[in-house]
Structure 1
Amino acid sequence: MGIEEGLEIGQFRGPWRITMWWPEGAVSGGPQKIVIEAEEDAPPGDVARGISTTVLRRLDLAGAVERARELAPTTPPWQAERGRLLDLARLAARLLADEGVSPRYLSVLCLTYRDLTNKGVQAPVPWLAEHLDRRSETVKDHLKKARRDGYLTSRAGRAGGELGDRATEVLATLEGVPPTAAP
């Protein structure tokens, strides 16, 4: 497949070789890339008909994820950024204590949340709640407010989002906090 630094798991279905790829680090979900190619010695007639829905239905994604988890390192990829994420969470906690749900607090909260989700942290809201010494429901409410007020964009049906213009502007005024640095 020619992808560098990552983990590949292969499966064979009839004349097709299916290669799934995960980035380097602990596996936190499904593959980020799947390539289906005809085997070199596959019968030309089978290849000419193309990839069928049967081939796709027989793809063992759950088995591939299980195997990838067995082969991948056990340290989550975000652990390398743990110190930076903890520093951001501490800053958010200080701002919340000093200013309440202010633009500066919401901006740092959104930056931390975005970076946690981009790194594949499975439960970013409970992580934030623990480090902010608040309940998960409270942090969810703060994130909802941040989305409503333009600090964080939404991802349909998924955790995460990108920093909104308001957060980027506020973060630019905070010393030592890079607003666009996504781990």
Structure 2
Amino acid sequence: MSKAATTPAHSQHFKARAKSAAHSRLYAKAVVPQVMDDDIETTIEYPETAHQRQAYLSPKTHRRVTEFQYRVYDACRQVPSGYFTTYKAISDHLRSGPRAVGNALSKNPFCPLPIPCHRVLTSDCYIGGFAGDTKSKIFFKKAKLEKEGLLFDDSGFLCQSMQQSRFFNEFR
């Protein structure tokens, strides 16, 4: 397994961020689905070669996956089970923006594996969206992460004790 944790002293990413009140309100308004999807084992075939990638049509969008989306997916793929990263950490690695990363991940047709987009949180360690939804599917994301050993508080934030020890940003 690659190096999977860093500390705030080694990352510009964690600069004393306070929990967002807006995130807390969003989580409070979210609706828990009646049926919970906590699948973290299903593996979908992932195009590896340039030819396979060019030919692949996403069943989610009925379009080709863009080169940028593949770059995001290739980075996300590196996050080990039981760890998390952030939209900003991926965007810093790709020299892009966190919203662009979030947009690419919202269209991820390779979830839960080999592209575990559920392992990507907001910079303040809030659960964030899942599959382009912040109103109910975030509970699917939370269930998947809890099954992998991460814990969240009652407002949808990763428990403080895990925010440093489980953070992954060692992208290749």
TM bracket, shorter-chain basis: 0.3 to 0.5
Which structure has more relative contact order (CA 8 Å, sep 6+)? It is: 2
Higher helix share: 1
Q: TM-score, normalised by structure 2?
A: 0.32
